[in-house]
Amino acid sequence: MIKSIQLATVTKSKKDFELLIHLLEALGLRKGHGATQGADRWQEFLPLTLRLDAPRLAGPWDDSDLIAVISDPDSAAVIVKKFGIEITEDRSGPEPTEDYRNLRLRFPGGTKVFLLGHRPQIVHPAVEGKLGAKGKRFAIVVSRFNSFITERLLQGTLDGLVRCGANRLRDIVIARVPGAFEIPAAARTLAETKKYDAIICLGCLLRGDTAHYDVIVNEVTRGIGQSAQETGVPHAFGVLTCDTLEQAIDRAGLKMGNKGFEAALAAVEMASLKAAVSQKQIPPARPRSGLRPLGSGKTARSDSPRKKSQSKKRR
């Protein structure tokens, strides 16, 4: 019976041999023993796993000198390009639209290598929020300053909440403040009532000739974030910070979309995420062997011999 098997590939030139060694080493194969006999050279590689496939194909397969099935073809393609090796065929392309990728390589001396494999699939369960606002309540804090912009943001926010299932009369409360600087205080006051699942902050700040803009932007951003962290109620940031009026108009319903609508979707998703996290059940830890959980109607440990002897004397 065969106890071991070695797979070998023959390169067509000395330059191809050196290049193939560097490529295999860069792909993660561990180098083993090497040998030289006259003009012949030999290099051993030790992959972590190796499998020999003997397929039967309907038509002619390939004229490649080496065919290797690898675990991460995207990373291999990056390494191949760094070495300057010609890629004669790249099936499925560099974009991860399909779960496999095949690369045909041509070395300078004519050696042909065929690399193929499935793209790695990373699947891990995650807790996510849903865009469902039905049954949830939202508070919108909107500044009157630059109302030409903020009113358009408000309309986009209302549209987004209604589209997600919120009732415009029952589930949405609007609070108006003089300017953007007052938004954090109003947002915190509303959040502390615990009546709302999320707070949406809308405002517009335009850069002027003084440092006033920078001061207000920093304070508003810090205040909204601090309110969300300390109250535990999600806050959606819909305050525009633009250099020009044209930039603000573009972000209030023109070619850059409506940031009020985007803030509404973020608020709905974060409110749903908070509910999902709070309702997520954590399985109880298993008791150690030999112990029973307290409160189960039985003692945590079996009675010791001393206690048993004391009970017999009492009888």
* Catalytic residue IDs: 212
Count of CA atoms in the C-beta half-sphere (13 A) of 167: 7
Contact between residue 259 and residue 252 where contact means Cβ atoms under 8 Å apart? yes
In whole angstroms, what is the distance from residue 186 CA to residue 176 CA? Answer: 9
Residues with Cβ within 8 Å of 81's Cβ and at least 6 positions away in sequence, in order, are: 87
- Any bridge partners for residue 140, and if so which? 174, 200
Q: How far is CA 32 from the centre of its chain?
A: 38
Q: At residue 120, what are phi and psi to the nearest 5 degrees?
A: -65, 135
Q: In this structure, which amino acid lies at residue 102?
A: N
Contact between residue 123 and residue 26 where contact means Cβ atoms under 8 Å apart? no
- Is the Cα torsion angle 173, 175, 176, 180 positive or negative in sign? negative
Helices (H), the chain: 14-26, 73-83, 147-163, 183-192, 212-231, 245-250, 259-279, 305-314
In whole angstroms, what is the distance from residue 197 CA to residue 176 CA? Answer: 19
